[in-house]
Amino acid sequence: MTSLEFTNQVQKISYSLKPVAMNLTRDADDAKDLVQETLLKALLNKDKFKAGTNLKAWLYTIMRNTFINNYNKITKRNSNIDSTEYFQYFNTDENYITHNGATSDFVVTDINQAIASLSADYRTPFMMYYIGYKYLEIAEKLQIPIGTVKNRIHIARKELKDALKVYAPGV
């Protein structure tokens, strides 16, 4: 299937996505945003679509996953559980506000230096995971077992945590 054929089929199906998005979001503006994001992801990942499969179902799956990911981001951002006796909910955004721009520059510099100090075997899978690749995609691209990918990402996180422990709250 050529890019033009794919784009035309996606455009034809796109009109049926809005009612589903409306059902998920319950808000007209959010539904439009969800449809737009779904179409963008579909067009960017057209190489992952297998010709002969159900394009409409593929688009619905992208939409549903996008909605779930956005929902999880919002709920994780808005509240955290404090493990005190009464389990109070609080917003931690204020804990990380930097009032001095130079401080944030130092932090970013330290983070970049810590990442650069990782060996390439750990840095590459970690950065691929950080920018959004799934474990399986990383394993395929680097041609290593998925268990090795998970282990290297785990080790990279551990080394970064140790290198950046001065920024850990409450330590």
CA 83 to chain centre: 27
Q: What are the pLDDT digits (tens) for 19-70?
A: 999 999 999 999 999 999 999 999 999 999 988 899 999 999 999 999 999 8
Decide: 64 and 70 in contact? Cβ < 8 Å.
no
pTM of the model: 0.46
Does the domain at residues 93-170 carry the CATH identifier 3.20.20.70?
no
> What count of other Cβ atoms lies within 10 Å of the Cβ of residue 100?
8
What residue segments make up the domains of the chain, in order of their start? 1-80, 93-170
Confidence (pLDDT) at 96:
53
- Number of Cα atoms under 13 Å in the Cβ half of residue 79: 7
Fold of 1-80: Rna Polymerase Sigma Factor; Chain: A (1.10.1740)
Q: What are the pLDDT digits (tens) for 96-139?
A: 555 556 666 777 888 889 999 999 999 999 999 988 889 999 99
Backbone angles phi, psi at 100, to 5 degrees: -120, 115
Average pLDDT of span 80-95 = 49
